[in-house]
Structure 1
Amino acid sequence: MYKNYKIDLHIHTNVNPHAFSTLEENIKAASKKGMKVIAITNHGPALPDSPHWWHLANIAILPEVIEGVRVLKGVEANILDENAKLDINQNVYERMEIILAGFHTVDGYEETRDIVKNTNAILNLIKSQKADIIVHLGNPIFPVDYEKIVKAAKENNVALEINNTSLGTLTRVGSRKNCKKMLELAKKEGCYIVLGSDSHYSDHIGEFTNAIKLIEEVGYPEELILNSSVENLENFLKLRKGLRPKEINS
């Protein structure tokens, strides 16, 4: 039923040293796999092995299309508090074509099992319209109220990610049950979702095997999956551009 998706909106390069491929290696791999669109989304500076904000902002110098692949300029920002504060500044914010955001254990927002705090942080971020996609929400070390989050995502036209890496056996173990619950609620509400490889190595770009199994179980509508077509993605990005506030710290 589901396609061999050729859009991947969650990819890291080795400027985050816990990733292992350069920008050029990622693009060459994406081109070889026939990817239509990729987003380079390195971590924001709150993580200890992230680049200076100059690097994140300077991604704007890249051409739109490299080796036949549309390369979106993006970032995976870190949530720093309950009030929608992210770890990117105005310079980075203005240059990003796509902004992912999610929980990591960072100074300002350490791991917490406080479901009320975590839920409020995501709800406030969604309502602020500063992030286009909320990533890896299945992570059991940051529990949230999925019903409230899905409703807010629908109302504010923010997409929710099904992170393929989270559904494996090494990272954010225990996410699958939570992701399935979120997907079932999102299907009822009619939310946008996106499959993300969360690639930290070039050969993993476009790897959605685990995520596709999950959307097959739920029977998620193809038209609400941003990876399903370039047209769907472009319409979403155009919508999001009109919704974002002008200032990241507003």
Structure 2
Amino acid sequence: MKEYKIDLHIHTNVNPHAFSTLEENISAAAKKGMEVIAITNHGPALQDTPHWWHLVNIAILPEIIDGVRVVKGVEANILDTNGKLDINQRVYDHIELVLAGFHVVDEYGAIDDIEKNTTAILSLIKKQKADIIVHLGNPIFPVDYKRIVKIAKENKVALEVNNTSLGTITRVGSRKNCKTMLELAKEERCFIALGTDAHYSGHIGEFQRAIELLNEVDYPEELIINSSKEAFEEFLKLRQELRSKKVDS
């Protein structure tokens, strides 16, 4: 089983439902030989998230800490069908990587409408406001994967295979949907990202369930942006160029 040394979805305990500090996460990543980690704390629409100043101030971190490339990111929340996210322009100006996905937040309202959810994702992708769309397999937010994969491919946005979603505690029932998404993404040759969604430092880099699913589908290695540091940095440069041109409110 291939080892992936890049984890693009990690939380620290500034989100109180996570359990490890920034330094604990970096230390754990260094001990595991990780090359790149992205710190992607939640945007402010969730109840247990920091003030947006925290998301801006992550820019003070060095690029390399203990030999690990530390990417300054955010996991933003989708707020409406127009692709609105819960981060402001100041955050965009200081952040390297924008993850975005559905969470149960008051502003979004009803979550079980497949057309509403699909429209929200398509709007977000077309506006180039996010680099990676996360945990799309969540069955409580039904979407049309075929339409989403096609537009993601056209706009060079990555879709995440979230290792946590493939377990038995969080977003239960995601595996079938993730496999469907991957099969369609393989046909379109869409970028895929791997994320552990680690809320505890010991889970960083633990991709076993995601890798099993990738192998099941025989997903092309060259389309997985975690496949090498070079592949990730190339994707990041591409996304920053596209996002800088199209970001709006």
TM-score in terms of structure 2 length: 0.98
Amino acid in structure 2 at the alignment position of 1:89: N
Structure 1 segments, 4+ long, off by >6 Å, are none
1:134–1:160 CA contact under 8 A, matched in 2: yes
Q: Which residue of 1 aligns with 2:52?
A: 53
* Cα shift at 1:241: 1.1
1:78–1:103 CA contact under 8 A, matched in 2: yes
Deviations 1:76-120 (A, max 9, x none): 000000001000011111111100000000121135110000000
**Alignment partners' CA distance in 2, 1:20 and 1:213:** 27
Say whether 1:173 aligns with 2:172: yes
Equivalent position SS for 1:226: coil
* Cα shift at 1:248: 4.3
Q: Which runs of 5+ in 1 are unaligned?
A: none
* Cα shift at 1:179: 0.2
Amino acid in structure 1 at the alignment position of 2:123: N
**Alignment partners' CA distance in 2, 1:160 and 1:16:** 23
1:3–1:228 CA contact under 8 A, matched in 2: no
2:127–2:248 CA contact under 8 A, matched in 1: no
* Cα shift at 1:249: 3.4
**Alignment partners' CA distance in 2, 1:214 and 1:17:** 30
Q: Which residue of 2 aligns with 1:65?
A: 64
2:127–2:247 CA contact under 8 A, matched in 1: no
Q: Which residue of 2 aligns with 1:136?
A: 135
Q: Which residue of 1 aligns with 2:77?
A: 78
1:162–1:211 CA contact under 8 A, matched in 2: yes
* Cα shift at 1:245: 3.9
Equivalent position SS for 2:20: coil
* Cα shift at 1:164: 0.2
Deviations 1:146-179 (A, max 9, x none): 0000000000000000000000000000000000
1:11–1:40 CA contact under 8 A, matched in 2: yes
Q: Which residue of 2 aligns with 1:92?
A: 91
1:125–1:131 CA contact under 8 A, matched in 2: yes
Q: How many residues align?
A: 249
Say whether 1:156 aligns with 2:155: yes
Say whether 1:194 aligns with 2:189: no
Amino acid in structure 2 at the alignment position of 1:155: E
Greater shift, 87-96 or 34-43, is seen at 87-96
CA gap 1:75/1:224 in 2 versus in 1, 3 angstroms: same
Greater shift, 79-88 or 110-119, is seen at 110-119
Give the 5 Å matches for 1:203-218: 203-218=202-217
1:9–1:40 CA contact under 8 A, matched in 2: yes
Give the 5 Å matches for 1:91-110: 91-110=90-109
Q: Which residue of 1 aligns with 2:221?
A: 222
**Alignment partners' CA distance in 2, 1:34 and 1:114:** 42
**Alignment partners' CA distance in 1, 2:23 and 2:162:** 23
TM-score in terms of structure 1 length: 0.98
CA gap 1:111/1:210 in 2 versus in 1, 3 angstroms: farther
**Alignment partners' CA distance in 1, 2:104 and 2:110:** 5
* Cα shift at 1:246: 5.1
Deviations 1:104-142 (A, max 9, x none): 001211351100000000000000001000000000000
Q: Which runs of 5+ in 2 are unaligned?
A: none
